[in-house]
């Protein structure tokens, strides 16, 4: 996250193959304003290959329940990655498999 506190977002021209449409601390207001259909991946977990939360969000109505789950797991305000398509999510998973456990770069 940049020093000024703004959330980092990549544009379509990114050189990162699995560039998320959003990366940063996920607060309730941000979760509620995301597009109708997206894939959510937490930046923390047991290892880079086992995120604490990964899900597909297809309805606006389930966001409040998702937020309650995030709070219950202590994930509110933590770094999340949002992908607009499954291919980008799978590319991110493939990249994470290459990261040795304990390496910097994953929150």
Chain segment 20-35, per-residue pLDDT in tens: 999 999 999 999 999 8
Residue 29 backbone phi and psi in degrees, to 5: -60, -40
Domain boundaries, the chain: 22-97
Task: Output helix, strand, coil percentages for the chain, rounded to the nearest 5.
Answer: 30, 20, 50
pLDDT of residue 1: 36
Chain segment 83-106, per-residue pLDDT in tens: 999 999 998 888 877 776 665 555
State the virtual CA torsion across 59, 94, 25, 71 in degrees, nearest 10: 60
Report d(CA 28, CA 42) in Å as an integer: 14
Report d(CA 39, CA 28) in Å as an integer: 16
């Amino acid at each position: 996250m940049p020093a000024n506190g703004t959330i980092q977002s990549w544009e379509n021209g990114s050189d990162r193959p699995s560039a998320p449409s959003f990366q940063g601390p996920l607060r309730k207001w941000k979760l509620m304003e995301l597009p109708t259909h997206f894939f959510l991946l937490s930046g923390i977990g047991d290892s880079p290959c086992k995120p604490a939360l990964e899900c597909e969000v297809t309805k606006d109505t389930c966001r409040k329940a998702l937020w309650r789950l995030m709070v219950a797991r202590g994930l509110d305000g933590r770094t999340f990655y949002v992908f607009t398509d499954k291919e980008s999510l799978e590319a991110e998973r493939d990249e994470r498999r290459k990261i040795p456990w304990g390496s910097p770069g994953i929150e």
